[in-house]
Chain A
Amino acid sequence: MSIDFSKAMGQHADALRLRAERTKVLASNIANENTPGYQARDVDFAATLRQLGQDGDGLLADTDAGELQYRVPFHAAQDGNTVELGVEQAAFAQNAQDFSTSLTFLNMKLKGLAKAINGQ
């Protein structure tokens, strides 16, 4: 029985990449807080991850663009900007925390593999 590393990682590797991509989208929202007409966007995390799991190739390049959705603001601004800083900051902080969660899971997987390799 051989160890397939990409399978051994489970979906945590995909989740980690998706978190990193989502960080980029949220950083854009925060950066464009004062840009007139800018519309805040976000990744549909669950749907994208499910799609990644089905594709099985773990490639994010062609899927990250398609899953972006526009955020519905609580209050519309006069200049057409839909960024609400509080919402974005909360999402960014949550996403950063989820990123380190995924990272922790990956680390635990690696530790388990190292144990298996060393035969402990």
Chain B
Amino acid sequence: MSFRQISQIAGSAMAAQTTRLNTIASNLANAQSAAGSEDGAYRARKPVFAALPANAGQTGEQLAGSRVQVLDVVESDEPLRRVYEPENPLANERGEVFYPNVNPVAEMTDMLSASRAFETNVEVLGRIKGMQNALLRLGEGA
């Protein structure tokens, strides 16, 4: 039986969603972190997910189950928010500061999606546990 693989699949998805929630928390926390230069400013981070075949390496077999892996965490290319704030101690010689390109609304919806996905996989693990326990009791009443 392949219950171990199923647990690994659900576990990998939970780990991936945790990484996603991590980047969201970082983005939201730094949404108002100003910087004096474009290079120094915080940029929104996004994880990149990819499917990883559970039986990778075995020849002649299609992928029956796929785990999730976080390939990379990339920084967003969207333009930074340039604000004129001459009284800000971080302001450059033109009186401008750079705010991160974090979109709080998008981050909030992303957060909902991530936590829902996490919960779904917790449910999957719970069901697997129930199925496995039922299987262990096979023939007990006979």
A interface residues with partner B (beta carbon < 8 Å): 17, 20-21, 23-25, 27-28, 30-38, 64-66, 68, 85, 89, 92-93, 96, 99-100, 103, 106-107, 110-111, 113-114
List of B residues within 8 angstroms of A17 by Cβ: 1
Whether the Cβ atoms of A35 and B68 lie closer than 8 Å is yes
Whether the Cβ atoms of A38 and B51 lie closer than 8 Å is yes
List of A residues within 8 angstroms of B81 by Cβ: none
* Chain B residue at minimum C-beta to C-beta distance from A38: B51
Smallest distance from the beta carbon of A105 to chain B beta carbons, Å?
Answer: 11
13 A-B residue pairs with CB within 8 Å: A20-B131, A25-B65, A30-B10, A30-B121, A34-B49, A34-B113, A34-B114, A35-B68, A96-B130, A99-B134, A100-B134, A103-B138, A111-B141
Interface centre among B5, B17, B124 (most CB of A within 10 A): B124
Whether the Cβ atoms of A107 and B121 lie closer than 8 Å is no
Mark contacts of B49-76 with chain A using CB atoms, 8 A cut-off: 1 yes-contact digit, 0 otherwise: 1110010000001101111100000000
Smallest distance from the beta carbon of A58 to chain B beta carbons, Å?
Answer: 13
Whether the Cβ atoms of B62 and A114 lie closer than 8 Å is no
Whether the Cβ atoms of A21 and B64 lie closer than 8 Å is yes
On whether A20 and B65 interact (CB within 8 A), knowing A33-B117, A103-B138, the answer reads no
